[in-house]
Structure 1
Amino acid sequence: MSAELKARLTEVAKEAGFSNIGVCRTSDVPQIAERLKTYVAQGRHGKMQWMAERMNWRGSPQDLWPDARSVIMLAEPYTPEHDPMDVIGMPDRAAISVYAQNRDYHEIVKKRLKRVGRWLLEQAPDEQIKVFVDTAPVMEKPLAAAAGLGWQGKHTNLVGRNLGSWFFLGSIFTTIELPTDTVEPENCGSCTACLDACPTDAFPAPYQLDARRCISYLTIELDGPVDEEFRPMLGNRIYGCDDCLAVCPWNKFAQEAREMRYVAREDLIAPKLAELAVLDDAAFRAMFSGSPVKRIKRGRFVRNVLYAIGNSGDASLREVALGLTDDADAVVADAARWAVSRLSA
């Protein structure tokens, strides 16, 4: 019955919008507890204190929910239709990570997971499920690798043979015992494209990431001013960074995004820095309503825009930065003064 149930589950998941599905046990990732402990001990998590505070659950899916017998991992592609590296060569424009160029994936993926989960409970009403999308203490990438969806590349992100690098992950923990999938071997070989592409050298070694140097951490997670050492390295990246994903050779096998809400908004592919810098709080919230960008709020966003302006080498943007040197947000004002000094040199 479980094999038949899994086959039907796969069909339902694909009907719901997922492209790939795999199953593993909560006990199939015994290595993550020690790896996470070492990562935090080295301070590579930066100021993401939640990683340390919930380390027991994050490092042990069994502790998160002891009754769970299977973890169903699902993947949904958001492969871009454009080359996300093109904007890096446009210094007066802003680079926003592909995943954030339209609607927030958390809500979309969670609804799909619940739809699949409801179907599963209809088949087994005495069982239970819990769904997770990135916001709970779940190590999704190692679990997805254990479920056969791909492998963690040298950039630590998941790579799939028929997915490339551009896909979201969601998980359904369940008390149902389902047949597991075969783990896919690591297929990076001698390639170091992702490591070589990193603007800030955030990879101390293959398969290791120091978040404190990662542009995604610096522009999204880090509150307060970014260390001056890293500001020039940000270039025009104002929300996240796609460099290590974009250069992966496996992307030639990536599936197209099926969800139109992941297709980039035209105004977010390469927006003008001058227009973004002058957004007040209301304009910022209106522009990014329903977008993951909204969560970093206006202050952190404009801070990032001003670093990009300082890196642009475009003297015409000096006046824009000058107008923010007395901003009510001290971090924004600091970033504006830094940008002015860079464009005055």
Structure 2
Amino acid sequence: MTLPPDQLQALAQRIKDWGRELGFAEIRIADIDLSHAEAGLQRWLDAGYHGEMQYMAAHGMKRCRPQELVPGTLRVISARMNYLPNVPDSEGWRAREAGRSAKDAVISVYARGRDYHKVLRNRLQQLADRVQQEIGPFGYRAFTDSAPVMEVALASQAGLGWRGKHSLLISRDAGSMFFLGELLVDIPLPIDAPVTEHCGQCSSCITACPTQAIVAPYQVDARRCVSYLTIELQGSIPVELRSLIGNRVYGCDDCQLACPWNKFAQKAVVDDFAVRHGLDRARMVDLFLWSEEQFLRHMEGSPIRRIGHESWLRNLAVGLGNAAGEHYADAEIVQALAGRAEHPSAMVREHIQWALQQHGVNLPA
């Protein structure tokens, strides 16, 4: 795509304006040179921090080379979209999240609404359509956490924020409660400058991690991360980590709740991220009683659906075990767990047995 510099500059501004019209909070443009990130990615893989996420190792350095992923790529249009639900008293969302009962199901804020993959890809496609209407056919591909793309590195390079010590992107204006998406394009658009980092000496996210998964600033051992354990892990959750997970049954926001910059977190402007099925106030025991059919029906269009009913029950069993509390056995919880003690899945049975033991109940083998 060949356009004179003044037209490229005007196009870049229009792309940013169109992005806001489509619900993106901010759009900026980066070049594609991520060679500086390759050594760090290789060290992370060599340490085995990716756990069972074999796709991370399979793609290797391709993640740092957008031009190999999509030949002809010259620039990356990096976009962020806020997802904090626009609910009453949303200003006090961090205190509300931290004040949940041990019997409540804690589901990561981003997962309580519609699947962000679909929402962002659809709007990125609309953005690409507008560009095409303006300049004619051009080469592009849209991505949202769906391909070997180093989203945080590109967003940081584009100036959307900086990588925090928890490895997520942080914006001075919006904290970190947002999704990222990209358009890889063959248009030599003018690039935006990165911003400076502002974590300083703060280590709140490292201290807050319930499983000590942030092993060093900017280094996360996924094998210990609650999000990995409750979403990516296919088998049994390591026994030594179960009690540390608490009632976090899908993902974990603790590092973000602790981050001072999230006092600036912005509300979502698209309805897709509104809370569905009361997932911001659900009791674990109620969710545990869902049949597979109920789970699939309630989670239609949700990112949670992809883990499947077995992993859902596994996660909830761990949470229910951790809800034993000072009074030890809880009759309602024990009854719910015992009711599924003969579940056809050996993984589910194992976690139910562990949970019952936390309540002082040992079922006969």
Both proteins in one fold, TM over 0.5: yes
- Does the CA-based 8 Å contact 1:6-1:178 persist in structure 2? yes
Per the TM alignment, residue 126 of structure 1 is displaced from its structure 2 partner at its CA by 4.3
- Does the CA-based 8 Å contact 1:56-1:63 persist in structure 2? no
Per the TM alignment, residue 87 of structure 1 is displaced from its structure 2 partner at its CA by 5.1
Query: Which position in structure 2 is the counterpart of 1:57?
Result: 62
Query: Which position in structure 2 is the counterpart of 1:326?
Result: 342
Q: Which of residues 252, 257, 260 in structure 2 aligns to 1:241?
A: 252
Query: Which position in structure 1 is the counterpart of 2:167?
Result: 156
Per the TM alignment, residue 219 of structure 1 is displaced from its structure 2 partner at its CA by 0.3
Deviates more, 1:141-150 or 1:9-18: 9-18
Query: Which position in structure 2 is the counterpart of 1:225?
Result: 236
Q: Which runs of 5+ in 1 are unaligned?
A: none
Q: Which of residues 287, 310, 331 in structure 1 aligns to 2:298?
A: 287
- Does the CA-based 8 Å contact 2:277-2:298 persist in structure 1? no
Query: Which position in structure 1 is the counterpart of 2:4?
Result: none
Q: Which runs of 5+ in 2 are unaligned?
A: 1-6
Q: When the two structures are superposed, what TM-score results if normalisation uses the length of structure 1? A: 0.96
1:315 matched to 2:320? The reply is: no
Give aligned pairs, total.
Answer: 344
Per the TM alignment, residue 267 of structure 1 is displaced from its structure 2 partner at its CA by 1.2
Q: Which of residues 93, 115, 127 in structure 2 aligns to 1:83?
A: 93
Query: Which position in structure 1 is the counterpart of 2:52?
Result: 47
Query: Which position in structure 1 is the counterpart of 2:120?
Result: 109
Structure 2 counterpart SS, 1:310: helix
Alpha-carbon distance in 1 for matches of 2:109, 2:164: 19
Query: Which position in structure 1 is the counterpart of 2:17?
Result: 11
Cα 1:125–1:319 shift into 2, 3 Å: same
Per the TM alignment, residue 129 of structure 1 is displaced from its structure 2 partner at its CA by 1.1
1:343 matched to 2:359? The reply is: yes
Q: When the two structures are superposed, what TM-score results if normalisation uses the length of structure 2? A: 0.91
Q: Which of residues 235, 254, 257 in structure 1 aligns to 2:265?
A: 254
Alpha-carbon displacement from aligned partner over 1:85-113 (angstroms, at most 9, x marks no partner): 64554111100000111111111111110
Alpha-carbon distance in 1 for matches of 2:32, 2:97: 41
Alpha-carbon distance in 2 for matches of 1:288, 1:344: 33
Q: State the AA in 2 paired with 1:285.
A: L
Alpha-carbon distance in 2 for matches of 1:254, 1:275: 30
Percent of residue pairs bearing the same amino acid type: 38
Q: How large is the Cα RMSD of the aligned pairs?
A: 1.4
- Does the CA-based 8 Å contact 1:127-1:175 persist in structure 2? yes
Per the TM alignment, residue 333 of structure 1 is displaced from its structure 2 partner at its CA by 0.5
Q: State the AA in 1 paired with 2:241.
A: F
Query: Which position in structure 1 is the counterpart of 2:193?
Result: 182
After the TM superposition, which parts of structure 1 deviate over 4 Å for at least 4 consecutive aligned residues? none
Alpha-carbon distance in 2 for matches of 1:11, 1:282: 43
Q: State the AA in 2 paired with 1:315.
A: D
Alpha-carbon distance in 2 for matches of 1:44, 1:344: 35
Query: Which position in structure 1 is the counterpart of 2:3?
Result: none
Cα 1:45–1:95 shift into 2, 3 Å: same
